[in-house]
Structure formats: C-alpha cells, structure tokens
Amino acid sequence: MKTKVCIIGGGPSGLLLSQLLHLKGIDNVLLEKHSREYVLARIRAGVLEHGFAKLMREAQCGERMDREGEIHEGFFIAHDGRMDRVDLHKYSGGNSVVVYGQTELTKDLYEARDRTGGQVIHNAEDVKPHDLTSSTPYVTYRRGDDIERVDCDYVIGADGFHGVSRKSIPKDVLKEYEKVYPFGWLGVLSRTKPVSPELIYARHERGFALCSLRSQVLSRYYIQVPLTDTVEQWSDDAFWAELKRRLPDEVAARMVTGPSIEKSIAPLRSFVAEPMRWGNLFLAGDAAHIVPPTGARGLNSAASDIYYLYHALLAHYQQGDDSGLENYSAKALARVWKAQRFSWWMTTLLHTFPDSIEYDRKLQQTDLAYLFSSEAAQRSLAENYVGLPF
C-alpha cells in the first residue's frame, strides 16, 4: 500500500491528524494496535482547552462536543477548609474550557473517519517503522500470518507513551527527561449528580482530591493515594469516606454517593523526549510527552503538536514549503515544556508529598495565599489552564 502519511496510533492525536489531513485531500493511513472497542473503553481526562475545541470543529468533529460538552468559565481550589474560585473567563481575556470526556471525543473522531472514508486499520500487530532517515520510509505490520507494508513520505508516531515510534529513534539521538511522583490518583466514575457544577481541586493534609464530571448525571472523582495501594483495597464506601474527609464540610455534606462504574489507579509522571523529529519520523502527543493530570494538560498538549504538524504538512504538500517540518520539533517542544512547567506547579501546589518537611508545607500555603491575593497570579493560572496560544 502507498500513501503520503502513515500515522501510527489511533488515540486522539493520530485520529485528529488523520481527519484534518484527509479533509485537505492529503492521503493517509492510520495503524492502530488494538480494536476500536478497546480504545473506546479507556476512561481518560475530560477538560479541553478552547484551542483543542476549535481544532475539533475544524476537523468537522465538533458538533456533539458543542451540543453535549459543558463550557466552564472557572473552577474552585479548596484549601484550609475554604473554597476559592479561579475565574478563567475574567483572567484569560474571555476564554473558557470545554468539559467533554476524551472517550466521547475519540468516538466522534472515529465516526468522522468512518463518515469520510478514512483508512483506519485496527488490530495491526508488530507495527514497525523502517528507513526513517531515507526519503522512502515505510511501515510494516502483521495481520494474522501476513506482513503488510505501507510506503509513505512521512511517519507520524502518535502511538502513546508505550508505543514503538519513540523507540525507533537511536539512543544517542534521543534525550529523555522524566520525573516520577511518589503517589497516584485513584479515580472513580459514578452515575451521580456532581457535587459542584464546576471542578473542585482540593489540597488537604491527607492528600489531594479532585471533583470533576462528565455531565450533570455523571461524576468523576479522584483522590491521591500511595503508589503501593491497589484498587481492590478501596471499597466504594472507603473511597467516598476518604474523598469527603479531604473536602470542606459544606461540600462533603452535599456529596451524592453511589456505586462506582469504573475505578482505577494511575501513577503520576512528567516526561519529555527530545527531539520530536528524527528523519521523516515525527512524534506527537503521549508518544513524546506525558504530564501529571493535575493541570488538565495531557490531551491539550497533544492538540498543539497536531496543530503544528497539520500546518507543516499542509505547507509541504500545498506550497512546497518545508519550514514548518524543519521547525516542528523546536516549536512543539517550546509549548510542551510550558505545559510541563504548569502541570508540575499545579501538582506541587496541591499534593501532599510523603517526604515533605514543614517548610515545604508552609510554602504551599503561601503559594495559595499569594494566588488568591494577586490578580497577576490568577491571570497566570488562568492563561495556562485555558491553554497558551499555539
């Protein structure tokens, strides 16, 4: 098979790029290791920055997001028994975020690829890129006993943190930066009315908590837990009790609890791989960088990669201009590192670190006191949370 762009990975990054290129008549093939059902069973984050929402509309995938997603113009930080609101709208020049589950967004992208006749190959096993530094790269994969081959101009590695693409870059070229946090998030999804129409990020001595939502009848809650904890250790009752303990009394009092429909523990990690281009391989999304979920940047960092790549490929195919491709890695990484800084800051501000000393805790309290006494600090938080410009 021959195509222009071979995309490895059918998560949000790969699907969005595939759809955007297709709409401009740029032929592409997407190879996904798993079945569609498997990909759509994953529960992930749910906050989209306005730039991501705009890109979804450009990809003709924004209709349900605009209908069912909720526009949020602020969120709360609970600390020291009180709630302070961050006014995103006021402090980001009128911007907001859209609360819409990544699972729904991925479903919409798959439907768009179906509708417009996209070439999405599921259950592609042993995907392997070849000759990436030549002008004739290709990708092989296995389907049952058959080895298939896709010849292309460019390979896009959008295959997530555990994918094969990043691993194809030689060790002496690739530099990886990593920070692993000494805790995880235990998340619960429940068919209950959310405790608050806006998200609540809570700092508490017992550990961080987050009250989020997918809709007004579907809640998503998280609590910080030690990495040694297992899901089996946490009954629903134990989860609700611990969550309530970490929230201000008036919030805990109106919490509606119910059976969990999903429960999982995710470790927290910051990770960046540089460069994001090697020969004719371009990395995008989780394949190149991971953030802890505290600042809701994961999916949104992927969006800026896709924006830069899409425009670089358009310029190449439509105008013969390769400057976007040449600059892709530097441009994408500049924004990636800002998302890294912001996620690290939000994580450090709101979590209880097992090895922290009294001095660290005083600094956390002071950082929060400063935040809510300074319009400049709230402006900085707001502009990062709604997403820095692409």
- Looking at beta carbons only, is 78 or 132 nearer to ligand APR? 132
Q: Where in 17-56 is the site for ligand PHB (CB under 6 A)?
A: 45-47
* Bridge partners for 179 per DSSP: 270
Stretch that binds ligand APR, among 7-15, 54-62, 193-201, 366-374 (CB under 6 A): 7-15
For 105, other C-beta atoms within 10 Å of its C-beta total: 27
Q: Where in 130-189 is the site for ligand APR (CB under 6 A)?
A: 158-160, 162-164
Rounded to whole angstroms, the Cα distance separating 187 from 231 reads: 9
Tokens of 129: 């890129």
- Looking at beta carbons only, is 283 or 296 nearer to ligand PHB? 296
> Do 303 and 55 meet the contact criterion of CB atoms below 8 Å apart?
yes
Candidates 10, 293, 324, 387: give the one binding ligand PHB (CB under 6 A).
293
- Looking at beta carbons only, is 14 or 118 nearer to ligand APR? 14
- Looking at beta carbons only, is 99 or 368 nearer to ligand APR? 99
* Bridge partners for 155 per DSSP: 6, 281
Question: Choosing among ligand APR, ligand PHB, none, which partner's interface includes residue 220 (Cβ < 5 to 8 Å by kind)?
Answer: ligand PHB
Query: Which residues make Cβ contacts (< 8 Å) with residue 67, sequence separation at least 6?
Result: none
Query: Which residues make Cβ contacts (< 8 Å) with residue 326, sequence separation at least 6?
Result: none
Tokens of 323: 């400057």
> How far is the CA of 299 from the CAs of 235, 304, 339, in angstroms?
29, 9, 11
Query: Which residues make Cβ contacts (< 8 Å) with residue 252, sequence separation at least 6?
Result: 244, 245
Q: Could you tell me how many residues of this chain bind ligand APR (CB under 6 A)?
A: 28
Q: Contact letters (x/-) for ligand PHB, 168-207, by CB under 6 A?
A: -------------------------------x--------
The verdict on 13 binding ligand APR (CB under 6 A) reads yes
Stretch that binds ligand PHB, among 141-149, 227-235, 267-275, 289-297 (CB under 6 A): 289-297
Q: Could you tell me how many residues of this chain bind ligand PHB (CB under 6 A)?
A: 9
User: Strand 28-31 vs strand 5-8: parallel, antiparallel, or unpaired?
Assistant: parallel
The residue type found at 184 is G
Question: Choosing among ligand PHB, ligand APR, none, which partner's interface includes residue 56 (Cβ < 5 to 8 Å by kind)?
Answer: none
Rounded to whole angstroms, the Cα distance separating 30 from 15 reads: 8
Rounded to whole angstroms, the Cα distance separating 71 from 89 reads: 10
Candidates 48, 296, 299, 350: give the one binding ligand PHB (CB under 6 A).
296
The verdict on 220 binding ligand PHB (CB under 6 A) reads yes
Tokens of 279: 């020969």
Candidates 285, 292, 324, 387: give the one binding ligand APR (CB under 6 A).
285
The verdict on 309 binding ligand APR (CB under 6 A) reads no
Rounded to whole angstroms, the Cα distance separating 91 from 375 reads: 8
Rounded to whole angstroms, the Cα distance separating 119 from 152 reads: 14
The verdict on 285 binding ligand PHB (CB under 6 A) reads no
Cα dihedral across residues 138, 142, 143, 148: positive or negative: positive
Taking the CA atoms of the chain, what radius of gyration do you get in angstroms? 21
The verdict on 90 binding ligand APR (CB under 6 A) reads no
Q: Contact letters (x/-) for ligand APR, 244-283, by CB under 6 A?
A: ----------------------------------------
Q: Which residues bind ligand APR (CB under 6 A)?
A: 8-14, 31-34, 39, 44-45, 102, 124, 127, 158-160, 162-164, 285-286, 298-299, 302
